[in-house]
Amino acid sequence: MSEVLLWVVGVLAAAAGVALSIALHEVGHLLPAKRFGVKVTQYMVGFGPTLFSRRRGETEYGLKAVPLGGYVRMIGMFPPQPGDAPGRVRASSTGRWALMAEEARQASFVEVGPGEERRTFYRLPVAQRIVIMFGGPFVNLVLALLLTAVASSAIGTPGLVPTVSAVSQCVLPAGTTATECGPGDPPAPGAAAGLRPGDVVLSFAGEPVSGWEQLSDAIRTSGGRTVPVLVERDGRRVELSATPVLTQRAVLDERTGEATGQVEEVGFLGVSPSVAVVRTPLSQVPAVVAEQVEGVAGIVLRLPQRLVDVAQAAFGSEARDPNGPIGVVGIGRLAGELNARPAIIPGDELAERTSRLVSLLAGLNVALFVFNLIPLLPFDGGHIAGALWEVVKKALFRLRGRPDPGPVDVAKAMPLAYGVSLVLIGMSALLLYADIVRPVTLG
């Protein structure tokens, strides 16, 4: 298959994955809403003109032209003000912000028919409202866990393993550009210990070796000490001893992997790892996803600065941060590059490409999970925050001996929701432009 065709297949696979992730997110809202008796009038994937729809019972299911989101429309999302009949806008609501809130209340009651007042969203107990609004992000979290398990545990990903691929014959001075041993270069500890290519390191310094990263750390901290090394060679176990030498090596930035200009003294053995398919134990999948959630949450917390960096890259000469935010166009381009990139391990290229795309979609669902929990409207987290505030408010009223204040009027936050929506539109436009003129590419 040609590189161009592979690129197109990757883009189409990512688009289908994004659409399916959004559709299942909305199912996470739809099912508990129907289970709790709320009238759901629409389930839509996308925005803009409707391309296809079909009514099943009281709900219209459809697909819209711009598949960049979706929504489930439930009646009575916002409570009426005390003394108001549902759906009636107060004549005294003349202020711009107050009118926005009143119009939101009215829109939420347009489809409330006679006798359906008890099927409104706002009448549900707080716990049920939280379940409905958390249902969408929860589905994305479950998808992230499942997709990560498929990519890293079922298929596996290329990684470094503690099987020796090469053994250095000498210790080259730090900072040198030489690749061959000179007459004055000391012998490398690995070669002196008798290590050979193909040896599988089973234990080092008395500790079992589970992966190359662990072995590398153990070597770096064992400089100047003679330690036992157990390897498997040609089906049998061989006991060796090695003395890693202390040598100066450049300190690398943990985030970028680039040299910081500083040096540190660490142990050096002089062996290189092999590349093989590495399968993560299922028990470690939650920790992998949790680390991704933490990373995306960090991006969200620093989003203003991150967007400034994107703008400087798009309109200036700054380099685009590969760990920064990207838009849907950027996701598609990355998917195309991932699928067109040659396999690292010769053999089953289809499995490796599938693992890459599935991992990308897992990361996308992590992002959907985190972003939708932002405690502001129009995100799901805004409704969750309103429900939690209602619990706190009612508890405070009870402590003061005051009557039940009723549901929290989330509609009052609609002006802020419109502001957040404008920010999201601006952010999407910036990311779209940046993804076109200065895209994030694979290194």
How far apart CA 158 and CA 276 sit, in angstroms, is 5
Tallying the residues shown for the chain, one arrives at 443
Residue 136 near residue 28, CB atoms below 8 Å = yes
Residue 224, judged by CB atoms within 10 A of its CB (0-12, 13-18, 19+), counts as exposed
Task: Tell me the chain's radius of gyration from C-alpha atoms.
Answer: 29
Angle at CA of residue 127, ends 297 and 417, nearest 5°? 50
* H-helix or E-strand spanning residue 108: helix 96-108
Tokens, residue 214: 């662990």
* H-helix or E-strand spanning residue 231: strand 227-233
From the list 3, 26, 116, 352, the catalytic residue is: 26
Residue 359 near residue 26, CB atoms below 8 Å = no
Residue 289 near residue 413, CB atoms below 8 Å = no
How far apart CA 324 and CA 303 sit, in angstroms, is 9
DSSP for residue 153? I
Our CA dihedral for 207, 212, 215, 219, rounded to 10 degrees, sits at 170
Residue 275 near residue 159, CB atoms below 8 Å = yes
How far apart CA 441 and CA 425 sit, in angstroms, is 24
Q: Which amino acid is at 198?
A: G
> Which of helix, strand or coil describes residue 364?
helix
Q: Which amino acid is at 206?
A: G
Residue 344 near residue 1, CB atoms below 8 Å = no
Residues 6 or more apart whose Cβ sits within 8 Å of residue 72: 26, 29, 30, 33, 40, 42, 43, 44
Q: Which amino acid is at 134?
A: F
Examine the residue annotation and report whether 26 is marked as an active-site residue of this protein: yes
Could you give the residue numbers annotated as active site? 26
